Amino acid sequence: MKTKITLLLALFLGLNVGFAQTEECPNKTSIFHEYFKAKNFDAAYEPWNYVRNNCPDYTLAIYVDGEKILEDKIEKATGAEKAKFLNDLIKLWEQRGQYFASKTPKGQYAAKSCQLMYDNRDLLGKSNEELYECFDAAYKLDKDTFTDPKSLYTYFSLMVDLYDAGKKPAEDLFNKYDDIVEKVEDEVKNYSEKLNILIEKEEAGTPLSGKEPRYKTFYEQMLGAYDQISGGVDQKLGERANCENLIPLYRKGFEDNKTNAIWLQRAAGKMSEKECTDDPLFFELVNAYHALSPSANSAFYLGILKDKEGKTNEAIAFYKQAIELETDNFKKAKLNNRIGLKLKAKGNYPQARTFFRESLRLNPSNGRPYLSIAAMYAASANSCGDTTFNKRAVYWLAAEEAAKAGRVDPTLSSSSAQSVASYKAKAPAKADVFSCGCSGQVIKIGCWIGASVTVPNL
């Protein structure tokens, strides 16, 4: 009988506690959220912590507001107390994933935890090996949502540091470089395609409406961030990926990987990127890759080989084949730009411009082809004008192209402005325009350029 009474009492007390918590959680939530809105994070901490510990699945605000509350604690704390709050923030993100899994992208939050540990590695006593394993696990857990530019750079930077310390082999370093570059390209494609829709709408004369201007700014900011990260990753890799290191590495692995299309593509791509194309290994890699898996990339590399042999027409034929084999418009735009750069370096300006124009048509948010066209115009000034004045007038045309780069691509605003200023400085001065009396006249530029430019009005 006593046992039954004891069980009933325990059940009664348990129900009372449950009811009390059910009533208390909304009250405590309301209290901490009001303090939170007033940015009184210290006052919010206690009621917030109560809700977090007693009803962790009550509302997502526990984790959204809680992140800011703990960040405030971290900012104000030092030493062991700061470390305690840092670890608590990591625990909070884990709990968010536990109780609100559908609203907590795994890769994103795992990478946030790793980045927080990296940024406070000395205080938390984290080694490069531990931090790399953290990022690597986050990347493998959910690559699709591991998208933060800073974390992608940190992930690769740690790999380079481990390679320099003799703790990672060269093959792992180059494979990770390719992983990160491909991931960045995927994200650039994502934001470029979204931005292109808005740019095309504006070019059609339709003003952006609603949230579209904010979206456009956000897409441009993200593309700018990925552009910085891309440059940072290349800089971090530096001379570690030179021909002296690449050729023996890929020569050693060729026999074991000559039926591995991904390995062959990455090896040929890296040798092409680092100008190791004179080595016979590049020829072997490209032919093996094209025989195994004919693709846009393999055709492009065959074009490079023909270019090296001085067979320009055959090279261009392979370049065009590469474009035909590519079905993705973003990748096709990138390929057109790469081909344009190859032809520009060879001095084949008319063909290069054709590929640059096509790249711009397919991806109007990337302004780099405009800068390339401007540079080719400037380089042709002496040969494309019939008088001294007209030769210098070519620089106005170059300035116009360079200015377009900055208009469509904010990441190029600085280099665009510098190029425009440089070209205008070489164009006819106001005194020259006054002397010729040709203000406002249209000048036809001959040779391969075949365009017109209007003399500025005084």
- CATH code (residue 149): 1.25.40
Q: Is residue 317 part of a domain?
A: no
Please give the tally of structural domains in the chain. 3
- Is 148 found in the same domain as 47? no
Task: Assess contact for 199 and 224: CB atoms under 8 A.
Answer: no
Domain boundary pick from 52, 85, 104? 104
Q: pLDDT at position 267, please?
A: 94
- Is 48 found in the same domain as 18? yes
Q: Is residue 155 part of a domain?
A: yes
- Is 138 found in the same domain as 67? no
- Is 143 found in the same domain as 190? yes
- Where b means 16+ CB within 10 Å and e means fewer, 428-456 reads beeeebeeeebeeeebebeebbeeebebe
Q: pLDDT at position 439, please?
A: 87
Q: Is 57 helix (H, G, I), strand (E, B) or coil?
A: coil
CA pair distance 112, 115, nearest whole angstrom: 5
- Is 117 found in the same domain as 76? no
- Where b means 16+ CB within 10 Å and e means fewer, 25-49 reads beebbebbbebbeeeebeebbebbb
Q: pLDDT at position 283, please?
A: 93
Q: pLDDT at position 239, please?
A: 86
E strand or H helix at 156, and its extent?
helix 149-164
Domain hosting 96: range is 1-104
- Is 122 found in the same domain as 96? no
E strand or H helix at 453, and its extent?
strand 451-454
Q: pLDDT at position 457, please?
A: 86
Q: Is residue 247 part of a domain?
A: no
**Which pTM does this prediction carry?**
0.83
pLDDT in tens, 183-230: 999 999 999 999 999 999 998 899 999 999 999 999 999 999 999 999
Q: pLDDT at position 413, please?
A: 92
User: pLDDT below 50 — which residues of the chain?
Assistant: 1-20
- Is 152 found in the same domain as 78? no
Q: Is residue 57 part of a domain?
A: yes
- Is 194 found in the same domain as 79? no
Domain boundary pick from 44, 77, 104? 104
Contacts of 203 (CB under 8 A, 6+ apart): 364
- Is 47 found in the same domain as 137? no
Contacts of 427 (CB under 8 A, 6+ apart): 392, 393, 395, 396, 399
- Is 117 found in the same domain as 73? no
DSSP state of 206: P
Q: Is residue 393 part of a domain?
A: yes
Q: pLDDT at position 22, please?
A: 61
In 10 A of CB 190, how many CB atoms? 16
Domain boundary pick from 239, 272, 289? 239
Instruction: Give 322-330 contacts, CB < 8 A, sequence gap 24+.
Output: 322/296, 322/297, 323/296, 323/358, 325/294, 325/295, 325/296, 325/299, 326/296, 328/189, 329/362, 329/363, 330/189, 330/192, 330/193, 330/362, 330/363
Q: Is residue 448 part of a domain?
A: yes
Q: Is residue 354 part of a domain?
A: no
- Is 438 found in the same domain as 389? yes
Q: Is residue 115 part of a domain?
A: yes
In 10 A of CB 85, how many CB atoms? 18
- Is 156 found in the same domain as 201? yes
Q: Residue 443 forms beta bridges with which residues?
A: 453
